[in-house]
Chains A and B, each alone.
Chain A
């Protein structure tokens, strides 16, 4: 069974500082990994994904994430945080070999609230 964990409910960072939002996963094979952002009272917006290839993935709004197979992690990063980055961030995983349930299940983490302090 696949699972994903976001160990921090909230992350606080000062504006201009680098930020990291953590995500670890568990799958039996090679994972597909995703990050989404949710602003207040909005749906989830796709940020970036890792399918294969380069371990460092670049996405929208200056975000990037690093796939680390040995640590089973896919942490979201940004070199310089903006106040407008304050939002809820979700990590998600899919095991492409897991077809149980017939719909290629995607498992979402419980979310991490990022607060960027001016």
Chain B
């Protein structure tokens, strides 16, 4: 199975801080994603990347940016954190073939105070 690792599980940041959420996958897959999960809203796509240095906006990109310098690593950046960005952030990658199943990391809980 694919292993997706999110190094920071729980973070508390102050309003206005710059926040980096790191994600690494171990299978050399091209497609990687960042989702945000909020109660009652399910999962919402922030950004995705289909290759190194390639990125596309998802459904809610405002306030976020991403970086993909290496194939295995996909970072989510909050340039200036705000309290409405308090949420669970999920990184994922997609396996080719086999119906393109998406595999998720363990999630990063971010609290902005």
Contact = CB atoms under 8 A, between A and B. Distances in A.
B104 A45 contact: yes
Given A46-B101, A104-B100, A90 B109 contact: no
Given A44-B90, A45-B104, A51-B99, A110 B40 contact: yes
Is the interface on chain A under 10, 10 to 19, 20 to 34, or 35 or more residues? Answer: 20 to 34
Interface residues of B, number: 24
A92 B43 CA distance: 10
Given A42-B106, A102-B50, A103-B31, A34 B42 contact: no
A102 B45 CA distance: 14
Given A90-B43, A101-B56, A102-B56, A49 B101 contact: yes
Which are the 7 A-B pairs with shortest beta-carbon distances?
Answer: A110-B42, A43-B104, A51-B99, A108-B43, A44-B104, A43-B106, A43-B107
